[in-house]
Amino acid sequence: MLSDPGMRKYLVGWALFGVALLLFPQVATSGTLRIFIFANFIAIFAMSWDILSGRTGYISFGHPFLIGIAAYTSAMLTYHLQTPLYFSIPLGVIATMVGGTLFFLPALRIRGTYFALVTLAFMELMYQLTQVMRPDITGGTRGLSGLPTLLTGALPNYYLSSAVMFVIAFCLWLLIRTRLGTALSAISMDEDAVKSSGLDTTKLKLFAFMVSAFVAGVGGTLYVHYLGSIAPRAIFDINFLFTILIAALLGGASTIIGPIMGAFFLTFLLEYLRPYIPGTERYFIYGSIALIVYVLEPKGLHHIIQRLYGALMRGKQA
């Protein structure tokens, strides 16, 4: 792997990214670190969406459904049964993978808009159920608060969220560079032609889904035990869904690095707009910016940066 100069270049990039994450607190205020923590979580969710939807072309509108299963499972276990976090978090992740598969597996047999609509329906269903079904357990409309947190303070949470985001990103990046990544991309281009090449696309999609659910589960449980509270409106919210989606699309779907860029860009944009436009009008600004970037370069920020880098290198050589 290291003998390949192309690969070496990427690994150096990853190492620099890791070092930058490590050193960032030296120059950042605690407020900025808190924005960064949120951006890390959005990046994790966006990567989770990307490995399923960006790769295979199966656009999921129900990702908060997966995040929610994990977050609620862990929250309820710790709140009602005082389950230690090192048990509740893995159980939350497993619940997302199993529960999500039960719902998504039949849906993976349908395509395009229908898949997107069915997954959106899952999210809405979960939103309604958490409010009306056993509110004594789920906390109903108000949700649950006073949940145990893994760590306290901006700096430890920054390091934890950055480390998790970095490890997930690196592992997913390695995964998509294998033949599996090639096969998943081919599904998004022509699923029937993939079948005609002798590959079981249902199995491939299920694998992508399981990875996606695992990442969503890890992100969801850590997120809820960072916030210390959970409510249906915070998780199963259309704005939350679109933040994840736009982060992935704006950054560059199907690239892993793109969704991270998109998540950071969007989170910081929203935060820096806050003093000037404190209301929800901010979303109009960010929606407009996302739309402009997407129209100008449908492959996203990742592609724009790649092109600039390519031009810079060519300029140096000339």
User: Can you give the binding site for another protein, defined by CB under 8 A?
Assistant: 175, 178-180, 182-183, 185-186, 189-190, 192-201, 203-204, 207
Beta carbons of 188 and 208 less than 8 angstroms apart: no
58: left (phi over 0), alpha (psi -120 to 50) or beta: beta
Beta carbons of 294 and 250 less than 8 angstroms apart: yes
Residue matched to tokens 């002798």: 198
Separation CA 227–CA 236 (nearest Å)? 16
Backbone angles phi, psi at 237, to 5 degrees: -110, 140
Nearer to another protein, 207 or 242 (CB): 207
The alpha carbon of 121 is separated from its chain's Cα centroid by a whole number of angstroms, namely: 19
Structure tokens given for 240: 């939350």
Nearer to another protein, 77 or 194 (CB): 194
- Smallest gap, in angstroms, from Cβ of residue 193 to another protein? 5
Backbone angles phi, psi at 174, to 5 degrees: -65, -40
Instruction: For the chain, state the CA radius of gyration.
Output: 20
Separation CA 231–CA 233 (nearest Å)? 5
Nearer to another protein, 143 or 300 (CB): 300
Task: Quote the DSSP letter at residue 50.
Answer: I
229 bridge partner residues: 145
- Smallest gap, in angstroms, from Cβ of residue 224 to another protein? 31
Nearer to another protein, 30 or 197 (CB): 197
Nearer to another protein, 141 or 197 (CB): 197
- Smallest gap, in angstroms, from Cβ of residue 1 to another protein? 9
- Smallest gap, in angstroms, from Cβ of residue 202 to another protein? 9
- Smallest gap, in angstroms, from Cβ of residue 109 to another protein? 12
- Smallest gap, in angstroms, from Cβ of residue 194 to another protein? 7
Nearer to another protein, 152 or 202 (CB): 202
Beta carbons of 185 and 208 less than 8 angstroms apart: no
Structure tokens given for 171: 């592992």
Tell me the residue type at 70: A
Nearer to another protein, 144 or 211 (CB): 211
- Smallest gap, in angstroms, from Cβ of residue 179 to another protein? 4
Q: Exposed, middle or buried, 147 (CB in 10 Å: 0-12/13-18/19+)?
A: buried
